[in-house]
Structure 1
Amino acid sequence: MSIPLTDEASLHPLVLPARADAADAGEFRELARVRNAVYRELTGRTEQDLTPEALLPLLRSRKERTTVVWAVRVGDEMVGRAVVDIPHEEGSRVAIASIEIHPRVWGRGIGTAALPHLEAVAREYGRTVIQNWTEQPASDAPRREARTGFGSVPDDHVARFLTRHGFTLEQVYRVSRLEVTASTLDRARALHEEARSWSTDYRVLQWMLPTPSEHVDGYAWLKSRMSTDAPSGDLETDEESWDAERLIDGEKRIEEMGQTMQVTVAQHIPTGELTAFTELGIGPDLTATTHQHDTLVLVEHRGHRLGQLVKCAALLSWGDVAPESREVITYNAEENRPMLSINEAMGFTAIAYEGAWKKELT
C-alpha cells in the first residue's frame, strides 16, 4: 500500500523480486535506473552505477541485517528511493537510513515527509540512533566541519536538510582517485620495495575470490576488525561478528553481483597470522573503474609499512586482472592520516567528500 507524503508524492514499499530479470521485476529495474541517475546527478560520475542484477543482492535482507526499501514517486513517476538497514549485531542501537531523491524534485517537502516513516522502522526494531552516509556534489557553498575536527562538506541543500532534521556531521570521508599509468606503476614499485625493507617478518599473499579454505578464518577475523580498528569518530559502531559462514555468504553475493575481487594480505611469518589486507574489485566491465574496498592493518601490527605493502602489491598485480581499467577509486576517513599518506604517495588525488551523519532518536 502506498503512503501519501505530499499532494503529489508518495512512498511505495518495494517487494524485491526473486531475480532481476523476473516477470515481476519491472518496478525494481526502474528503481535501479533511478538510483543510478540520482548518484550521477549528485557526483557527476558514473562509477557507482549498478545493474539491477548487481543491486538486487545488496538490497536483500540476510542473516546479519534486515533491509526495508521504498520507491518514491511523484504522480506515476519514480524519482528516488528510501532504504533502512537494521544490523543484527548483538546490542546494536543503530539503523542506517537514506533518502535518495533526484535533485530536480528537491525543495518540495518530499524528504521531510518521508523521514518519519524511516524513523518509525528504526523504532520498530528498537533502535535509538540513525546514521547516514551521503556524498555531496561539489559546491562553492560555505563549509560545514566534521565533529572529528578533520574535513568538511559543503553547507548545501543536503547538509541543511540533515541538520534541520536533527543530524550532526560526525565524520568526513575523502573520495580519492588514482589514474593508472606507467608513472604511477613505477611509483608503486618503488614504494613496494621501500615497504618490504620495513616488513621483513611479513610476506604478501594474494587470491581471487572465493577465499582458499586455509585463509577463510584469518580473513574473516580481519574483516571483523574493520568495525573496531578503523577510525569512526563518535559514530555508533557495532562490533561485527565475522565467521566462515558470513565470509562465504558474502563472497557468494559478490559473485552473484558479477563482481571480480582480489584480496591482498600481509602474513606474519613467525606466527602465520594474517595482519593486514586490502581488496580491489570491479564489475562485469573490466575496462571500467576499479574500486579499492576495505583496507586495514591490525592495530598490534602497525608501524611496519604493511598498509603500503599490501596496497602497492595489489595495484601492481591488478594489471593481470583488469589491464584496461585505468582508474582506482577509494574512500578514507579524513582523520586516517596514515592511510591517506600512503594514497598520496601512490598518486591518489581527492575528487569529492562524503559526510557521515548521526541522529539520536527521542
Structure 2
Amino acid sequence: MPGPTVEPFLPQHASTSDLARWCEISREGQSELSGSSPQPFALAERLLATDTPAVSRWAARGGEGAPLDGVAELLPQPRDPRLGFLRLFVTPPARRLGLGSALLERATHEARTIGVDRGQGTVLAGPPGEPFAATCPDLRVLLRLERQEQRLDQEAVLRRCRALAVCPDSRYKLTHWRGAAPARLIASFGRVMGHVLDAPGADLQLAPRAWDAAAVRDWEARMTAGGQRLKVCAAVYPPSGDVVAATVTTVPTDGGAVADQHDTAVLPEHRRRGLARWIKAEQTLSLHRLFPGVRAVAGTLNQRNLPMLAVNRTVGYRRVRERLLVETVPHP
C-alpha cells in the first residue's frame, strides 16, 4: 500500500482547491490549539499577498493524487535565527496514518539545511498530540500552557466584569485606544510592554527587545498585519501622565467570533493594587460594546503564572484545554 507523500507548498503556485484545503486544515488545527484562527479565505489572501521565502511550507497526502490531509510550516524566529517554530496539523480522519511523521521528517531535514538547530512547537496535552510529540527524538517540554476562554455572550461574565470595572485607586485613570498608541503615551506604553518578560517562562517564548517608539510602531504593524484590529486598555498615573499598566487584544476583521487576548503587564512599582484586574474587566466590557460579533476571547497562560491565572479567573476566564510548548534538537 503506498505511503504518505509530502510536497513543498508554494501558495502562489498552488491550485485553487489545494490552497483552500491547505488554509482550511491550518485554520482547524490552529483553532483546536488556541481557540481562534483566521478564516480560510483571509489566510489565503495573506499567503498570496506576502512573499516570505524564509518560511517553508509543506502539504501531505495519503497517497499520490489523494486530497491534502496534512500541512506544516517552519518559521525561523527573528530573535534567534537558529531557532525555528513548527506548525504541523493533520485532519482528524487522517491521524495515525503516518502523515504527521512524514511532515515532521521533512521539516527536520529542512531545518538542518537552513541552519536551524533547535525546533519549537505547541501540541495539545493528552492524545493525539502529546503521544505523537513523545515519538520525536530529544524532545523536552519547556512549558505547560493553559488555554482559556472568556465568554462575552454570557451575562454572568459581563455582570462580573461590571462589578470589577471600578478603579481600585483614585489616583489612576483609564484610557483605551484602537490601533496606534497616542504619541503622548507611546514611550510609557513601551516601558510597560517591556515588562511582559517578567512573567514566569516568558523568556522561553520571547527574546529581550527594545521598546522605544519605533519598536512600538513596528509591533503595532505586525499585530495588525493580517487585518486584525488592535485594542489596548491601559491605566495612566496622572502625576506623571504615564501608562503604568496595559492589556492587549486583537479582534478579527474577517467575521471570526473569537478575539485573542495577548499580553497584560503592570510596572513593578504599581503592582498589587488591582490594576490588572481593573483594566481586564474594562477591556472585556469595551470589546462587548464595540464588537458585538465577538462572542469569546481566547488566551493562553503559563500554568506557573499564578498571579495572572488568578486575575483571569476573577474576570470570568475558564480553562478549556492544556497544551505544551516543546523543543527538540535535530540529529546531525
Structure 2 unpaired stretches of 5+: none
Alignment partner of 2:95 out of 106, 113, 118? 106
- Aligned-residue CA RMSD in angstroms? 3.3
Name the % identity: 22
Matched, 1:88 2:44: no
Amino acid at match of 2:159: D
Q: Report SS of the residue matched to 2:23.
A: helix
Distance 1:52 1:286, change over 3 A: closer
Q: Mean alpha-carbon deviation: is it higher for 73-82 or for 336-345?
A: 73-82
Q: Tell me how far apart the structure 2 counterparts of residues 248 and 39 of structure 1 sit (CA, whole Å).
A: 27
Gaps of 5+ in 1: 1-5, 137-152
Matched residue SS, 2:286: helix
- 1:211 aligned partner: 181
The answer to whether the Cα contact below 8 Å between 2:229 and 2:252 also exists between their aligned partners in 1 is yes
Structure 1 residues 162, 324: closer, same or farther in 2, change over 3 A? closer
1:86 to partner: Cα distance: 0.8
Structure number with the bigger relative contact order (C-alpha 8 A, sep ≥ 6) is: 2
Give the whole-Å Cα distance in 1 for the aligned partners of 2:300 and 2:110.
Answer: 29
CA contact (8 A) 2:228 2:251 kept: yes
| Residue in 1 that maps onto 2:20 | 29
Count of aligned residue pairs for this structure pair? 326
Task: Report whether the alignment pairs 1:190 with 2:163.
Answer: yes
Aligned to 1:308: 277
Q: Deviation at 1:247?
A: 4.2
Paired residue type of 2:231? Q
Give the Cα–Cα distance (whole angstroms) in 2 for the partners of residues 225 and 119 of structure 1. Answer: 34
Q: Contact 1:80/1:102 (CA < 8 Å) preserved in 2? A: yes
Give runs of aligned pairs for residues 261-276 of structure 1, distance below 5 A: 261-276=230-245
CA contact (8 A) 1:287 1:326 kept: no
How big is the shift at 1:212?
2.9
- Match of 2:239, SS? coil
TM-score by length of structure 1 reads 0.77
Work out which of the residue numbers 272, 278, 281 in structure 1 matches 2:250: 281
Indicate if the aligned counterparts of 1:38 and 1:80 stay in contact, CA closer than 8 A: no
CA contact (8 A) 1:171 1:233 kept: no
Could you say which residue in structure 2 is the equivalent of 1:202? 172
- In 2, distance between residues paired with 1:52 and 1:213? 34
Structure 1 residues 223, 128: closer, same or farther in 2, change over 3 A?
A: farther
- The answer to whether the aligner puts 1:157 opposite 2:128 as a matched pair is yes
Amino acid at match of 2:121: N
Normalising by the residue count of structure 2, what TM-score does the alignment of the two structures yield?
Answer: 0.83
Q: Please give the residue correspondences for 1:292-303 in structure 2 after superposition, counting only pairs within 5 Å.
A: 292-303=261-272
**What amino acid is the match of 2:304?**
E
Tell me: CA distance 1:128–1:46, structure 2 relative to 1, closer, same or farther (3 Å). Answer: closer
Contact 1:205–1:264 (Cα < 8 Å) also in 2: yes
Q: Deviations over 1:141-199 (max 9, x none)?
A: xxxxxxxxxxxx32x23212211213222212212222233432232122232xx22x4
Q: Which amino acid aligns with 2:134?
A: T
Which whole-Å CA distance do the structure 2 matches of 1:254 and 1:240 have between them?
Answer: 16
Structure 2 partner of 1:147: none
